[in-house]
Amino acid sequence: MNQHTRPTLDDVARAAGVSTATVSRCLNAPDRVIAPTRERVMQAVNALGYTPDFGGRALASGRTNTIGAVIPTMDNAIFARGMQAFQETLSSVGVTLLVASSGYDFDREAEQIRALAGRGADGLLLIGSARPATTYDFLRRRGIPYVLAWSLGDSADHFVGFDNRRAAEALATRVIALGHRDIAMIAGVTAMNDRAADRVEGVRAALRQAGRDPASLPIIEAPYSFEDGSNAFAALMQRVPRPTAVICGNDILAVGAIGRAKALGLRVPDDVSVTGFDNIDIAAFVEPALTTVHVPHRRMGVAAAQQLLQMIAGDTADARVEFGTEIVERGSLAAAPV
């Protein structure tokens, strides 16, 4: 039984009869080593089961090949899908992903950002642009590359996202064009969430554009769950006149709304139309299928990873990558009842 200490560069060097520098080169820049020696070294590496020590490498090189992400929560189909793509992309180039979650709380987010930066993350992925100036200050003082995703902002930061406001406006405009006059909205919680807030703004903009008073739009904010969507829908249906269309801030709320409509004996879309946002899998599967806004979550995850990798490599990356969205019309939206 040998000692249970891992082999070091030195062990490999000795075994291969070369210097530690050569072993290091074999691993990091194989072309800077002549083939025969390289072969001998690699043999020793395999024989000893050598793997480079992370701490030593990080200390000496100043890089960790690690990227951090702070998202509101993994327990949300939207981020789950995007993060999966993000992780796959990083993994394909040998970078590993550190994840942390904020629970939609600015303080927690700042705390997690600090933690990941302290963990030596070479770059950071953050969601949206709404956060205190102090957090941005920290990011910049620290000089750590970061990308803001899932939305687009006005700042000079790097964005990889789509225009939540415009997409929501387009959808609402379509609803209005179908003759709906009594429109209501079930929004995601807008506090600390620019995506949700932008979607509300988009709907208001559409109303304004149609010569209606945005202030008259009944809105209920609801957490991301079927049940909350359902309850919000029930509350909205109490209004007089009863809305003929309910625009929801995301698909989960919309599915909750449709479920409640059925329970209330209301036909969708004959009595009331319902729309969602995100186009997650379930949108195509509810009955009736959901009219929603398609968002390319996976592509965004991939693009965010590429962007970040470029920034870390020191290459000049595009300031922003904007993805288009499109309205997917399905059975849950129809012309207003006459």
Partner DNA sequence: TTGTATGCGTTATCAA
Partner DNA sequence: TTGATAACGCATACAA
Q: Which does 287 bind (CB under 5 to 8 A by kind): a copy of itself, DNA, none?
A: a copy of itself
| 284 scored as a contact of a copy of itself (CB under 8 A) | yes
- From the CB of 316, what's the least distance to a copy of itself, in Å? 19
With binding defined as CB under 7 A, does residue 6 bind DNA? Answer: yes
Q: State the Cα–Cα distance between residues 134 and 127, nearest whole angstrom.
A: 16
Nearer to a copy of itself, 89 or 190 (CB): 89
Considering only residues 20, 73, 135, 310, which one is a binding residue for DNA as defined by CB under 7 A? Answer: 20
Integer CA distances (angstroms), 289 to 146, 152, 254, 282, in order:
37, 29, 10, 8
Query: Minimum Å distance from CB 82 to a copy of itself?
Result: 9
Sort strands 320-322 and 273-275 into parallel, antiparallel or unpaired. unpaired
Is residue 61 part of the contact set for DNA (CB under 7 A)? yes
Q: How far apart are CA 273 and CA 332, in angstroms?
A: 6
DSSP string, 177-245: HTT--SEEEEEPP-TT-HHHHHHHHHHHHHHHHTT--GGG--EEE--SSHHHHHHHHHHHTTSSSPPSE
Q: Nearest 10 degrees: CA dihedral of 135, 140, 146, 152?
A: 70
Burial label, 167 (beta-carbon count in 10 A; 0-12, 13-18, 19+): buried
Cα four-point dihedral sign 290, 292, 296, 298: negative
Cβ-based nearer residue to DNA, 22 or 193: 22
Cis geometry, peptide bond prior to residue 218 (ω within 30 degrees of 0): no
Q: Which stretch binds DNA (CB under 7 A): 28-36, 213-221, 257-265, 329-337?
A: 28-36
Interface region with a copy of itself, contact rule CB under 8 A, candidates 124-132, 162-170, 219-227, 324-332: 219-227
Using CB under 8 A as the binding rule, whether residue 99 contacts a copy of itself is answered as yes
User: Measured from the CB atom, is 66 or 325 closer to a copy of itself?
Assistant: 66
- Report, in Å, the least distance between residue 7 CB and DNA: 8
Pick from 2, 36, 240, 241 the residue near DNA by CB under 7 A.
36
Q: Give how many residues touch a copy of itself by CB under 8 A.
A: 59
Residue 55 is a binding residue for DNA (CB under 7 A): yes
Which ranges of 74-193 does DSSP label H, i.e. alpha helix? 77-91, 106-118, 133-142, 164-177
Interface with a copy of itself in residues 250-269 (CB under 8 A): 255-256, 259, 262
Q: Which residues bind DNA (CB under 7 A)?
A: 5-6, 8-10, 17-22, 24-25, 27-28, 32-34, 36-38, 50, 52-53, 55-57, 59-61
